[in-house]
Structure 1
């Protein structure tokens, strides 16, 4: 039953309670999804680590993520890699994605709670579809490079220095205006890259939700380009590297001064890249 408020508008008595329940359900589902994806990622990484790595010329080891095991087909290896990649990305990106999903839910307020839930799911699926596509592109490149490194010892010996150089470049990228623009889009900064309207006028339909998820995924994959490179070259299934990259992504997205945080992170990455190069030259 409706009643007239003191301001003359009509209110639904159960609406505040419904919104509170919806809010709690949203954060509970997000926490559960993060916990499950993190647990699966840890189990997968531990299982792969137990299989051992291949010692390579130059004093480094190659992950089995790029190698076909006995009795395993190439499609099977690709499917296994893609599955691990998607679950890993859910665990790594969800902490910084949840606030963006919450802002989306606020922007499309006024629709039914059940419909709002499905629209939120569509945004999330669109977002992670972009990361899945990146995994599809990364796998053949990783396999090809691994094959070349096993066939060419000279190339394998150059890998430690190459890793240091890539890490150094990734750190330098944190200081660029390009990074600042992409980060502003991920943070939906007002005045720089506002992807949602200031007023609750965002279309509450499936097509708009899908497009918004894809746009978020593209912007955030661009923003994470340097950090993703570090993940790939330093250990795609290394739990320590994953934890550090996840922390860096979350801090620069959610910290009050994101650009400043990105530069601080970049300084640390540059220092790490220099140390890796010095170490590689010393071992060589």
Structure 2
């Protein structure tokens, strides 16, 4: 067994291994941020669940995330949704973002630890800015679609079938060359769209850090487009759906053979979509 000294020296089996304090701080802060965001997401989901759902024609129920409740204003509803969305994205994406942030830290040279910490925060902020923008687009579209479903019973009855078709299509997307290229970018596979130069020399300035975070966020949003769509159509505040999507994103990013993992995940999603379609047409 071993222990870590106050100076950041890991002493194991009579040997001393120097471990930078910044490394412990980076992973410690990341773990704390994940734990807090996950806890807040669970509380938000429980609060949303307590508000109930609206039964709709076709045997399904609409989430209150897309509705304005008594006493609420639309700006207030939008702000509430966006806050929940950001916290949820942090909880869902942070496990797969941490390795990318670590590669960035290794690629920045010639800077002190305090500045490196702030640059890392800027990269993360740029990354989640992209996901915030995604939520800002998703909310009005979701509200508009919910309004149409409440006004048109025929459209509402078609929702279970439409959800199954969307899930089936997103599962099939996991098998495409497009998905493989996007996943290679996120995993930074050698020769496949490296986001950090092989020479490992990125300028240690705020503008570069922000742009790098934006690039990471854009590539991640492309790669996760199908899985994010599953989240939106299957239950944006459903903890079970969030857990499954989070696990899928993390596994395909971090597993030794990510492309194979993506195909296995795709097979599961296709099967789920087929089951949803069968139930919608009365065969399940």
Asked if TM exceeds 0.5, the reply is yes
The number of aligned residues is 271
- Is the CA contact (8 Å cut-off) linking 1:58 and 1:283 kept in structure 2? no
Tell me, yes or no, if structure 1 residue 189 matches structure 2 residue 182.
no
1:202-260 CA distances to partner (integer Å, 9 max, x unpaired)?
11111110000000000000000000000000000000000000000000000011111
Structure 2 unaligned runs (5+)?
1-6, 10-16
Tell me the distance in 2 between the aligned counterparts of 1:280 and 1:15.
Answer: 58
Tell me the distance in 1 between the aligned counterparts of 2:40 and 2:132.
Answer: 17
Tell me, yes or no, if structure 1 residue 222 matches structure 2 residue 222.
yes
Tell me the distance in 2 between the aligned counterparts of 1:47 and 1:18.
Answer: 46
SS of 2:61's partner is strand
Using the TM superposition, give the Cα deviation of residue 111 of structure 1 relative to its aligned residue in structure 2, in angstroms: 1.1
Tell me the distance in 2 between the aligned counterparts of 1:88 and 1:177.
Answer: 29
List, as ranges, runs of 4+ consecutive aligned residues in structure 1 with deviation greater than 2 Å.
14-19
Residue aligning to 2:30: 30
Using the TM superposition, give the Cα deviation of residue 283 of structure 1 relative to its aligned residue in structure 2, in angstroms: 7.3
Using the TM superposition, give the Cα deviation of residue 125 of structure 1 relative to its aligned residue in structure 2, in angstroms: 0.0
Tell me the distance in 1 between the aligned counterparts of 2:56 and 2:178.
Answer: 36
Tell me, yes or no, if structure 1 residue 248 matches structure 2 residue 271.
no
Residue aligning to 2:270: 270
Residue aligning to 2:14: none
Using the TM superposition, give the Cα deviation of residue 15 of structure 1 relative to its aligned residue in structure 2, in angstroms: 10
Tell me, yes or no, if structure 1 residue 21 matches structure 2 residue 48.
no
Residue aligning to 1:212: 212
SS of 2:200's partner is coil
Please provide the CA RMSD for this pair. Answer: 1.6
Output the TM-score relative to the length of structure 1.
Answer: 0.93
Tell me the distance in 1 between the aligned counterparts of 2:261 and 2:167.
Answer: 18
Structure 1 unaligned runs (5+)?
1-13
Residue aligning to 2:3: none
Tell me the distance in 2 between the aligned counterparts of 1:46 and 1:18.
Answer: 44
SS of 1:55's partner is strand
Using the TM superposition, give the Cα deviation of residue 98 of structure 1 relative to its aligned residue in structure 2, in angstroms: 0.2
- After TM superposition, list the pairs within 5 Å mapping 1:1-16 onto structure 2: none
Tell me the distance in 2 between the aligned counterparts of 1:204 and 1:281.
Answer: 57
Residue aligning to 1:279: 279
1:3-58 CA distances to partner (integer Å, 9 max, x unpaired)?
xxxxxxxxxxx998996100000000000000000000000000000110000000
- Is the CA contact (8 Å cut-off) linking 2:109 and 2:203 kept in structure 1? no
1:163-212 CA distances to partner (integer Å, 9 max, x unpaired)?
00000000000011111111111111111111112223111111110000
- After TM superposition, list the pairs within 5 Å mapping 1:67-82 onto structure 2: 67-82=67-82
Residue aligning to 1:124: 124
Residue aligning to 2:177: 177
1:115-159 CA distances to partner (integer Å, 9 max, x unpaired)?
000000000000000000000000000000000000000000000
